Amino acid sequence: MADALVPTKPHIQARAHVASFAAYEALHRASLADPSGFWRRQAQRVTWFRQFDETVQQDFARAEVAWFLGGKLNASYNCVDRHLAERAEQTAIVWAKDEPGQYERISYRQLHEHVGRLANVLRRFGVRKGDRVCIYLPMMPEAVYAMLACARIGAVHSVVFAGFSADALRDRIADADCRVVLTANEGLRGGKTIPLKKTVDEAIAGLPVHTVLVAQRTATATPMQQGRDRWLADELPKQRACCPVEWMDSEDPLFVLYTSGSTGKPKGQLHTTGGYLVYASYTHELVFDWRPGDVHFCAADVGWVTGHSYIVYGPLCNGATTVLFESTPLHPDAGRYWQVVDDVQANIFYTAPTALRALLRVGDEPVKKHARTSLRVLGSVGEPINPEVWQWYHDVVGDKRCAVVDTWWQTETGGILISALPGATPCKPGSATFPLPGVRPLLVDDQGKELVGNGVSGNLCLAGSWPGQARTILNDHARFQQTYFAMYPGLYFTGDGCRRDEDGYYWITGRVDDVLNVAGHRLGTAEIESALVSHEFCAEAAVVGFPHDLKGQGIYAYVIAGKAAEGVPAAEVEAVLKQVVRKVISPIATPDRIQVVPGLPKTRSGKIMRRILRKVAEANYTELGDLSTLAEPQVVEQIVQGHKAGR
Ligand code: WTA
């Protein structure tokens, strides 16, 4: 059966940057015929202190790419200073505070002052070009100031999501060798406080961090270690608001952001200045069909790449008004997003399917209570969006009047690669549709053979570089090369499976590696397993994902109990181990179910057969496949019985 097409809307087409499918196709074709010319022209959207000499150099075999070589620019200058002539009094940031109905507006002029002052504070505490600075802040303007202050002086920021535990924070601070950390006394989210400073204290014990700069978000007192900890409120007034920018090389690092892979600990993806900024700006304007004056509301957290590219760098580089949303979609009720949309008159709204699924479940009434007439483009990101959820987003949230864009990309890609364009692309609900101009996706089979034509499924790769691509993994280029460029020589491998249907539409089918996507958060099974076995109650663990109504994927952990757990009731073992994962990683990584098993299905060479464990976790007991190659086939029956008993 052919999938229903949702046509583009004439009133959106009438004002769109790309106003028809034919125009998109022509643009895409031209971009691939002359990528270098295409990106050379796109690069003029940012202000260069010195023009670049060469557009691109790429060598996928070595995992080396460089864009806009010889150019000099500064991301903070592009996101702040260059707007002062035309829009100094325009709101740059609307902070929608956790407390319903409370907003703070920061103009570009004010942003310039805040960023300058904070940059001078960083300098005062010894931060120099190339130094890494950890930002562990909640969704408050200081987080944005801090990112731009680092960029201003050429420091490399490493934002760590404020939901990560002390252990996870510690690993990231140590890996990037950060000596300065910015945090808040507490975070506030959904009416609950989060003890951020306390977590930092625990995380940095024994590490060579010499300065902790503390923003104040709540009235709660927090212990301050003399000589190390400073209140931002005390330090900022001592500094001048004006701070000269450091002119960076196009390929100088802008930031590092940790993300989970199939093996080991999270890796620091390194993004550089020129390519990343051009790409964030380009995709923000094109995909959301942004125009001057539009209010852009991306509900992600700055701790994830979506927040980096579509709350901070893309919108601010383009001179937009960007919304910084501190709360949750359900606080104080399921109408919160739409209340904010009305209050700030947002034209663009961007969130993850997991939030939409939670809202859909509550029903239409909280949506309809609010007008939402300012909305024009609705975006989705982070995981496959179920067709029913897409339709609800379009019909109910968007009143069948807004364009819906399902945007596929990754921390590694820096910005959106596959997405509909509001005025150009007829949509199929559930499909991310087509690659952006300048982007060339390719599907290959497991042997690396390209699957040509339509109506094919395979592993999603990209042929050729794009400016937003991550350049390396911090301190581990070999791993970068191995993970993304070794599997299919000459191509960048995404780790995602994908179908290109009869009409050429791309459908992302999810990860083909051991990476989970839980409520839009990326987690490695290896990471969770290593957290579990860090406790003496767990001798061995195997973690798999299973379909989950709200979160997209849930986390299912099979564990072999350790000696210390002998005689301990299974319920207690499970509770303790869940707590361990929360502590070592984050509450977002908590397994939905832990099943204590007598053994794991392994091949005779000792490899865990995850395929079987996945089938059991999804209660699919009849398609377990051939068990004869297992070392102990009988454990499968025991695992199945245990699963049934726990349902
Ligand atoms: C998944 C988030 C389907 C995908 C920006 C990818 C998606 C991983 C979509 C990256 C989408 C992201 N449809 N799947 N529109 N967007 N993904 O690094 O598996 O947190 O590889 O970046 O999320 O997650 P990350």
For CA atoms 612, 616, 620, 621, give the dihedral sign.
Answer: positive
For residue 457, how far is its CA from the centre of ligand 1 (angstroms)? 18
Is 80 exceeded by the pLDDT of residue 557?
Answer: yes
Q: How far is the CA of 560 from the centre of ligand 1 (A)?
A: 32
Q: What is the pLDDT of residue 265?
A: 87
Q: Which residues line ligand 1 (CB under 6 A)?
A: 259, 304-306, 381-384, 406-411, 432, 494-496, 508, 511, 517, 522
**pLDDT at residue 629, rounded to an integer:** 84
Nearest to 597 by CA among 583, 612, 580: 612
For residue 306, the CA-to-ligand 1 centroid distance in Å is 10
Comparing CA positions, the residue from 594, 629, 624 lying closest to residue 611 is 624
Ligand 1 centre distance from Cα of residue 517 (Å): 8
Averaged pLDDT, 620-642:
90
pLDDT of residue 238: 98
Per-residue pLDDT tens digits for 32-84: 999 999 999 999 999 999 999 999 999 999 999 999 999 999 999 999 999 99
Backbone dihedral region of 63: left (phi > 0), alpha (psi from -120 to 50 degrees) or beta?
Answer: left
Q: Which atom of ligand 1 is nearest to the CA of 407?
A: 15
pLDDT-based confidence at residue 633 (cuts at 50, 70, 90): confident
Q: Would you say residue 599 has pLDDT above 90?
A: yes
Mean pLDDT value across residues 18-44:
98
Cα(101) to ligand 1 centroid in Å equals: 32
Ligand 1 atom 5 nearest Cα: 410
Q: What is the pTM of this model?
A: 0.96
Model confidence at 175, pLDDT cuts 50, 70, 90, reads very high
- The rounded percent of the chain whose pLDDT value lies above 90 is 95
Q: What is the pLDDT of residues 316-339, one digit of tens each?
A: 999 999 999 999 999 999 999 999
Q: What is the mean pLDDT of residues 513-527?
A: 94
Average pLDDT for 553-578: 96
CA distances, 205 to each of 212, 228, 230, 451 (Å)? 12, 12, 17, 52
pLDDT grade for 300, boundaries at 50, 70 and 90: very high
Q: What angle do CA 136, 116, 277 make, to 5 degrees?
A: 70
For residue 458, report the distance from its CA to the centre of ligand 1, in Å: 16
Tell me what pLDDT residue 1 has.
Answer: 45
| DSSP assignment letter at 320 | -
Least confident of 226-235, 271-280, 508-517: 508-517
**Closest listed residue to residue 526, CA positions, set 508, 544, 548:** 544
Q: How many helices (H) and strands (E) does the chain have?
A: 22, 30
Residue 413 near residue 438, CB atoms below 8 Å: no
At residue 398, the pLDDT reads 98
Residue nearest to atom 15 of ligand 1 (CA): 408
Ligand 1 pocket mutation pick from 380, 469, 496 by most atoms within 8 angstroms of CB: 496
Question: Per the structure block, which two tokens stand in for 476?
Answer: 């581990």
Sequence-ordered list of residues with C-beta below 8 angstroms from that of 161, at least 6 positions apart, any chain? 301, 303, 304, 586
312 secondary structure, DSSP code: I
Task: Give the integer Cα–Cα distance in Å for 387 and 393.
Answer: 10
Judge contact between 295 and 94, C-beta under 8 A.
yes
Question: Which atom of ligand 1 lies nearest, measured to the CA of 508?
Answer: 3
- What distance in angstroms lies between residue 381's CA and the mean position of ligand 1's atoms? 7
CB of 312 closer than 8 Å to CB of 147:
yes
* Residue 427 · residue 235 · CB < 8 Å: no
**What pLDDT was estimated at residue 631?**
86
- Cα-to-centroid distance, 214 and ligand 1 (Å): 32
Mutate to test the pocket of ligand 1, among 404, 434, 508, 588 (most ligand atoms within 8 A of CB): 508
237 has a pLDDT exceeding 90: yes
Closest residue by CA, ligand 1 atom 25: 410
Compute CA distances 73 → 250, 311, 452, 478, 510, whole Å.
7, 21, 40, 29, 37
pLDDT confidence bin for 2, thresholds 50/70/90: low
Rounded to an integer, what distance in angstroms lies between the CA atom of residue 28 and that of residue 436?
7
Give pLDDT, residue 320.
Answer: 98
Residue 3 pLDDT > 80:
no
Indicate which residue's Cα is closest to atom 8 of ligand 1.
410
Express each pLDDT in 85-116 by its tens digit: 999 999 999 999 999 999 999 999 999 999 99
Q: 511 CA distance to ligand 1 centroid (A)?
A: 9
Distance in angstroms (rounded) separating the CA atoms of residues 165 and 583:
6
Number of other residues whose CB lies within 10 A of the CB of residue 40: 15
Average pLDDT, the chain: 97
Residues linked to residue 187 through DSSP beta bridges, in sequence order: 194
| DSSP-derived pairing of the beta strands 229-231 and 211-215 | parallel
- Ligand 1 atom closest to residue 380's alpha carbon, by position in its atom list: 15
- The residue-averaged pLDDT of 163-188 equals 98
CA distance 58 to 484: 14
Closest residue by Cα to atom 24, ligand 1, is: 410
pLDDT of residue 647: 75
pLDDT band for position 625 (50/70/90)?
A: confident
Ligand 1, atom nearest to 511 Cα: 19
pLDDT for the residue numbered 13: 97
Q: Which atom of ligand 1 is nearest to the CA of 385?
A: 13
pLDDT of 179: 98
Q: Give mean pLDDT, residues 364-389.
A: 97
Query: Residues 429-438: pLDDT tens digits?
Result: 999 999 999 9
In the predicted structure, residue 261 carries a pLDDT above the cut 90:
no
The whole-angstrom separation of Cα 94 and Cα 476 is 38
